[in-house]
Amino acid sequence: MSTTPLEVLPAPDFSRLGPLAQLLANVQVTEIMVMGSRDIYAEVGGKLILTPLSFASDEELMGVIRYIVESVGRRIDAANPICDARLADGSRVHVAIPPVAVDGPLVNIRRFVRGPLDMADLIRLGSCSESAFGFLKACVMARANIVVSGGTGSGKTTLLNVLSGYIPAEERVVTIEDAAELQLRQHHVARLEARPAGPDGKEITIRDLVISSLRMRPDRLVVGEVRGPEALDMLQAMNTGHDGSMTTLHANKPRDALSRIETLVMMAGYDLPLRAIRAQITSAINVVVHLERLRDGSRKVVQVSEVSGMEEEVITMQDVFRFIRTGVDGEGRVIGRFAPTGIRPRILERLEELGHQTPAEIEQLFPDFVHNVQ
């Protein structure tokens, strides 16, 4: 299948964003937090700093907020004081205004990384090791269902973008997001975005989009974030022929991620026994990749775990890789190493079934398996 070359897009115009334009032009700024007209904070190198910039008044700030929100067909007012939107470059925007924001409008902008990162970029940044990424590459090739978990700002979406780069170009991918920010490189990608209720139409939820996507003949689903009853529909999709799907989830550790999925499934309104929910999770999810933002501001994959089955009513997991902290250097940076646990992951057996070669990055870790495949 032939494809047209990717167009080189011009730099976005931020001129109507007031003092935010200066920060958005700085590639070192990864996040911006506006505290009314008083203060503007920025994250640089994983650390928060108070900038000398500010808005002249709340009215000026509200003008910028309305411009951002209305540019993506959404609205914000006293009756709808919370809104998610995005900038022209894809950066994620969250806004809260009075009456919910007590001391004036609040704006949070999570920067869009211009140009998708790849495995080599994250290895260079110290986010993960080559062998751990090699295993994750194998998981995508083996059509494993993957959950990327972590706290706010830990790099979940960035990792999801990198993993999606290993999806074969000939497959049809449907992406589902609250605010579109995924950067899949494949040509055949159908992008869906949720919409809040407005005067011109009803609310379209993530759950609505997950259900709708199953009628679009996807080979894989990529859900930007699961945080509600759509978790049940996502599990059912993973269990009914949509292997190789991916999503992100807020959680403190891999096992907490599975517990949170249980809770979200219960929100769907069906009186399902807990054992049935756990059986669904066990058969649907193969791998949980957990990230953390460490105290030095760095973002790392700290644990890669495989869901191995159930023992009575408990989901069993086994770690495949862990980040082992060994100390802090003279500049306050966390140092450590990414270590395989020595357990041979079961998901690699699916590589053999699909006729794929084991990625070179993990050949030394599983030599017996590589021999069997070849």
pLDDT on residue 305? 96
Q: Is the dihedral of CA 107, 113, 115, 119 positive or negative?
A: negative
The residues pairing with 192 across neighbouring beta strands, listed in sequence order, are 176
Q: Name the stretches of the chain with pLDDT < 50.
A: 1-10, 371-374
Evaluate whether 290 touches 252 at the Cβ level (below 8 Å). Answer: no
Structure tokens at 76: 């914000």
Nearest to 358 by CA among 342, 371, 339, 346: 371
pLDDT on residue 113? 66
Nearest to 243 by CA among 351, 359, 130, 373: 351
| Ordered DSSP codes for 155-170 | SHHHHHHHHHTTS-TT
pTM > 0.75: yes or no? yes
Cα–Cα distance for residue pair 113/116, rounded to 1 Å: 7
Evaluate whether 86 touches 179 at the Cβ level (below 8 Å). Answer: yes
Q: Which residue has the tokens 């139409």?
A: 201
Nearest to 118 by CA among 128, 109, 108: 128
pLDDT on residue 369? 55
Q: Write down all domains in the chain, each with its CATH number in brackets.
A: 18-110 (3.30.450.370), 119-373 (3.40.50.300)
Q: 367: part of which helix (H) or strand (E)?
A: helix 367-373
Strand 220-223 and strand 173-177: pairing? parallel
Structure tokens at 308: 């191995």
pLDDT on residue 201? 67
CA R_g for the chain: 22
pLDDT on residue 358? 83
3-state helix/strand/coil string of 294-362: CCCCCEEEEEEEEEEEEECCEEEEEEEEEEEEEEECCCCCEEEEEEECCCCCCCHHHHHHHCCCCCHHH
Neighbour-count burial of 237, counting CB atoms closer than 10 A to its CB (0-12 exposed, 13-18 middle, 19+ buried): buried
pLDDT on residue 12? 64
pLDDT on residue 174? 95
Evaluate whether 78 touches 99 at the Cβ level (below 8 Å). Answer: yes
